[in-house]
């Protein structure tokens, strides 16, 4: 347990109706009690109750109490709290001024300013959560879309840990078994051991690979699906990009692009984060960059995880568009027939020959009409049977993925070795390595530097 009591603002700074100052440590209750004026003395308040009162600065002089804010104060005595220490949360009115002055007062009355991630670090060090859960908290803070948020939540609840525990348990039992063999070689059960090792490692390997497959989907969610908008000049690519960005403003992050066209934009469609790329935005700018532009469009198309092919409803199909349709028909492509507010000149049946109806969407980027249909098409393309709510991805973090690959390598080495008649005590090293790398996901074998690295990624107050 830590000796000192820490405090920080736990809510995002900026607008918002309330803000929370979180205090954790042995003197948490006492520290806040010193500055709180309430009906019940905070020191007498039962755990997990909320007190109403005012934060007052009493140092102004005996008669001159300065009331800083009207607050609600929650007391959570350890170990039944986030950090497993005594935790007090002071909900102030929103706005930076109020919450900052309350924090400053609490710091003056004895608490120390928390370092980024220190609350979560304490929760981890006090055994409240494991490392995978701690990292999930980071993701929770960072996740921009609902789906990424749900995934991080799942992980925070220990979903990944729950899968890894039994895998490690099996491996440790295997190690124990092998150990016995090495200690009593006269039993001559080496052959049995080789079979057992092969069987057990193969089973664990399959589980690791399953997690890795899910991880790839998780990565897509985290970073946004790389979505490329293609089409002839004037089809309405930039307009579509703008329309999508406008309708999904809440999570738009601006990436400064060219002056005329937005080149890249992050949006969420139906909760799925997309990284939208308007390749032609580059091409249209000038002749000089055209070469680079075309090249980039080409690479972008190859790497795209989702393609929006924009056609002009107001014009007949162009030869370039026929080529694109054919080229992209086996890719995750959605055909966007744009400008349906204008009279139709496009023969859609030609498109329908190669593309199923649910992957052709008609809309007007200019009028903002039909965008929902596009959302539907995008989400059904990505989530039809592929990712179900109950089978949400568990692994979503680069460190976890690296460790799973390490585990996979060790397990494969162990399996391979059983075929090559390598002595059991050498194979044992590979099994132990896989047990260890799995353990690192949970933070079992984590050294201090790893811990510091992970927890320094947090915002203050978490
Ligand atoms: P890009 O070259 O493919 O990026 O196309 P732009 O987005 O720059 O649009 C080209 C022209 O078509 C502009 O004048 C737009 O205002 C117009 N436009 C784009 N979408 C629509 C639409 O849905 N309806 C109509 N009527 N005009 C559109
Ligand atoms: Zn454009």
- Could you give the percent of the chain with pLDDT greater than 90? 30
- Identify the residue whose tokens are 């690296």: 402
Kind of pairing, strands 36-38 and 49-57? antiparallel
CA-closest residue to ligand 1 atom 18: 236
Residue 392: pLDDT over 80:
no
Please name which ligand lies nearest the alpha carbon of 371: 1
Half-sphere exposure of 221 (CA within 13 A, CB side): 29
Higher pLDDT, 234 or 254: 234
Q: Are 402 and 135 in contact (CB under 8 A)?
A: no
Residues 340 and 217: their CA atoms lie apart, in Å, by 34
Residue 242 CB–ligand 1 contact under 6 Å:
no
- Could you give the percent of the chain with pLDDT greater than 70? 71
**What is the average per-residue pLDDT within 20-42?**
94
Residues 233 and 351: their CA atoms lie apart, in Å, by 19
The backbone region for 182, taken as left when phi is positive above 0, alpha when psi lies in -120 to 50, beta otherwise, is alpha
Residues 121 and 188: their CA atoms lie apart, in Å, by 48
Q: What is the pLDDT of residue 157?
A: 63
Residue 360: pLDDT over 90:
yes
First-residue to last-residue Cα distance in the chain: 18
Residue to probe by mutation, ligand 1, list 232, 234, 239, most atoms within 8 Å of CB: 239
The backbone region for 317, taken as left when phi is positive above 0, alpha when psi lies in -120 to 50, beta otherwise, is beta
Residue 223: pLDDT over 70:
no
Q: What is the pLDDT of residue 67?
A: 82
Report whether 399 belongs to an annotated binding site.
no
Sheet with 6-9, strands from edge to edge, namely 36-38, 49-57, 66-76, 87-93, 18-24, 6-9, 112-113
Residue 411: pLDDT over 60:
yes
pLDDT category at 393 given cuts 50, 70, 90 is very low
CA-closest residue to ligand 1 atom 2: 234
Report whether 31 belongs to an annotated binding site.
no
What domains, with CATH codes, occur in the chain?
A: 6-114 (3.30.1360.120), 154-220+397-445 (1.20.120.430), 224-389 (3.40.50.300)
- pLDDT by residue (tens digit) across 131-165? 777 777 766 666 656 666 666 666 666 777 888 88
Report whether 256 belongs to an annotated binding site.
yes
- pLDDT by residue (tens digit) across 76-118? 998 899 899 999 999 988 667 778 889 889 998 899 988 878 8
Residue to probe by mutation, ligand 1, list 236, 310, 324, 362, most atoms within 8 Å of CB: 236
Residue 13: pLDDT over 60:
no
CA-closest residue to ligand 1 atom 14: 234
- pLDDT by residue (tens digit) across 283-312? 444 455 455 555 666 777 877 888 999 999
Half-sphere exposure of 34 (CA within 13 A, CB side): 13
Give the ipTM: 0.99
Three-state DSSP class for 36? strand
Q: What are phi and psi of 239, to 5 degrees?
A: -65, -40
How much distance in Å is there from the Cα of 400 to the middle of ligand 2?
39
Q: Which residues of 408-446 are buried (b: 16+ CB within 10 A; e: fewer)?
A: bebbbbbbebbeeeeebeebbebbbbbbbbbbbbbbeeb
pLDDT category at 130 given cuts 50, 70, 90 is confident
How much distance in Å is there from the Cα of 281 to the middle of ligand 2?
5
Q: What is the pLDDT of residue 258?
A: 37
Residue 366 CB–ligand 1 contact under 6 Å:
yes
Residue 231 CB–ligand 1 contact under 6 Å:
yes
């Amino acid at each position: 347990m830590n000796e000192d009591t820490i405090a920080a603002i736990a809510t995002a700074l900026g607008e918002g109706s309330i803000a929370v100052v979180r205090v954790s440590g042995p003197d948490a209750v006492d520290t806040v009690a010193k500055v709180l004026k309430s009906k019940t003395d905070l020191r007498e308040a039962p755990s997990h109750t909320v007190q109403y009162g005012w934060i007052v600065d009493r140092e102004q002089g005996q008669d001159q109490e300065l009331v800083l804010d009207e607050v609600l104060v929650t007391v959570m005595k350890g170990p039944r709290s986030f950090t497993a220490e005594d935790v007090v949360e002071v909900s102030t009115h929103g706005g930076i001024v109020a919450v900052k002055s309350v924090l400053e007062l609490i710091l003056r009355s004895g608490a120390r300013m928390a370092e980024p991630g220190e609350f979560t670090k304490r929760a981890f060090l006090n055994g409240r959560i494991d490392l995978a859960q701690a990292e999930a908290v980071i993701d929770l803070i960072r996740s921009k879309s609902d789906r990424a948020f749900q995934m991080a939540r799942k992980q925070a609840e220990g979903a990944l840990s729950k899968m890894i525990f039994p895998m490690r348990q099996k491996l440790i039992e295997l190690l124990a078994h092998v150990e016995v063999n090495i200690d009593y070689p006269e039993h001559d059960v080496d052959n049995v051991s080789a079979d057992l090792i092969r069987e057990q490692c193969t089973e664990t390997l399959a589980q690791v690979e399953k997690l890795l497959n899910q991880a790839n989907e998780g990565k897509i969610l985290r970073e946004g699906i790389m979505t490329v908008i293609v089409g002839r000049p004037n089809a309405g690519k930039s307009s579509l990009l703008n329309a999508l960005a406008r309708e999904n403003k809440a999570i738009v992050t601006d990436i400064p692009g060219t002056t005329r066209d937005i080149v890249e934009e992050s949006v969420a469609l139906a909760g799925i984060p997309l990284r939208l790329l308007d390749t032609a935005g580059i091409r249209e700018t000038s002749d000089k960059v055209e070469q680079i532009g075309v090249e980039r469009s080409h690479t972008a198309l190859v790497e795209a995880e989702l393609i929006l092919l924009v056609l002009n409803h107001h014009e007949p199909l162009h030869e370039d568009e026929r080529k694109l349709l054919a080229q992209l028909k086996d890719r995750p492509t959605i055909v966007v027939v744009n400008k349906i507010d204008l009279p139709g000149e496009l023969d859609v049946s030609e498109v329908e020959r190669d593309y199923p109806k649910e992957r052709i969407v008609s809309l007007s980027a200019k009028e903002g009409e039909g965008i929902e249909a596009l959302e539907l098409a995008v989400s059904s393309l990505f989530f039809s049977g592929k990712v179900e709510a109950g089978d949400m991805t568990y692994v979503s973090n680069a460190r976890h993925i690296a460790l799973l690959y390490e585990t996979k390598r060790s397990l494969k080495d162990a399996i391979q070795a059983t075929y090559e008649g390598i002595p059991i005590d050498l194979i044992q090293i590979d099994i132990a390595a896989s047990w260890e790398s799995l353990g690192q996901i949970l933070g079992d074998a984590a050294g201090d530097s790893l811990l510091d690295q992970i927890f320094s990624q947090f915002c203050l107050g978490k």
